Amino acid sequence: MTTIKVFLPIRTVSEANGKKSRGKNGKMRSEHWTEKNKRHKIQQQSVTLILRQPLNGIKLPVLVTLCRVAPRMLDEFENLPMSLKWVADAVCSLLVPGKAPGQADRHPGIKISALQRRPAKNEVAGVEITVEETQ
């Protein structure tokens, strides 16, 4: 059984609450859709670039474990899975090619778990992705 583990230094945020920031006038504003879209594309392209070749020989069923490494912890039931949604979609699209974007994670041979931890000293924030065959 094959196991692949990679670390991507990409930023993930809670998509459920919507990222807020201060505008030029000092008032709080919601994140513009183009900012979200740019972050989502970076996440998907990073996963595809790093995992396309290693996942080439993986056979289903698999367990995909996504571990968010960040200084701030998120709520485990809503915000954590939402923050890793685009990463999970990209990994599943590589495992089940030919499906419409966002549809491959419904495949019965893919189980996804989401974890989080704080970074160790001198460790950068990002996402650890582990894919292991489970036959």
Query: Within a domain: residue 111?
Result: yes
The answer on pLDDT for 39 being more than 90 is no
Whether the full predicted model's pTM is greater than 0.85, yes or no, is yes
Are 69 and 125 a contacting pair, CB within 8 Å? yes
Question: Stretch 44-64: mean pLDDT, rounded?
Answer: 92
Query: Within a domain: residue 47?
Result: yes
How high is the pLDDT of residue 132?
96
Predicted confidence band of residue 20 (pLDDT cuts 50, 70, 90): low
Query: Within a domain: residue 109?
Result: yes
How high is the pLDDT of residue 50?
93
Q: How far apart are CA 38 and CA 22, in angstroms?
A: 19
Reduced to 3 states (helix: H, G, I; strand: E, B; else coil), residue 101 is coil
The answer on pLDDT for 87 being more than 80 is yes
Predicted confidence band of residue 112 (pLDDT cuts 50, 70, 90): very high
**Strand 126-133 versus strand 3-8 pairing type:** antiparallel
Number of domains present in the structure of the chain: 1
Q: Quote the domain boundaries for residue 94.
A: 3-16+29-133
For residue 131, the cross-strand partners are 4, 64
Query: Within a domain: residue 21?
Result: no
CA R_g for the chain:
16
Query: Within a domain: residue 116?
Result: yes
CA dist list (Å): 68 to 24, 86, 105: 31, 13, 18
Are 75 and 114 a contacting pair, CB within 8 Å? no
Predicted confidence band of residue 68 (pLDDT cuts 50, 70, 90): very high
How high is the pLDDT of residue 19?
62
Query: Within a domain: residue 22?
Result: no
Query: Within a domain: residue 91?
Result: yes
Is the backbone peptide bond immediately before 61 cis, with ω within 30 degrees of 0? yes
Q: How far apart are CA 13 and CA 7, in angstroms?
A: 17
Query: Within a domain: residue 23?
Result: no
How high is the pLDDT of residue 135?
79
For the chain, what is the mean pLDDT? 89
CATH code of the domain covering residue 51: 3.30.1330
Question: Stretch 90-117: mean pLDDT, rounded?
Answer: 92
Q: With 0-12 CB in 10 A as exposed, 13-18 as middle and 19+ as buried, what is 98? A: exposed
Please calculate the CA angle 56-90-30 and round it to the nearest 5 degrees.
Answer: 165
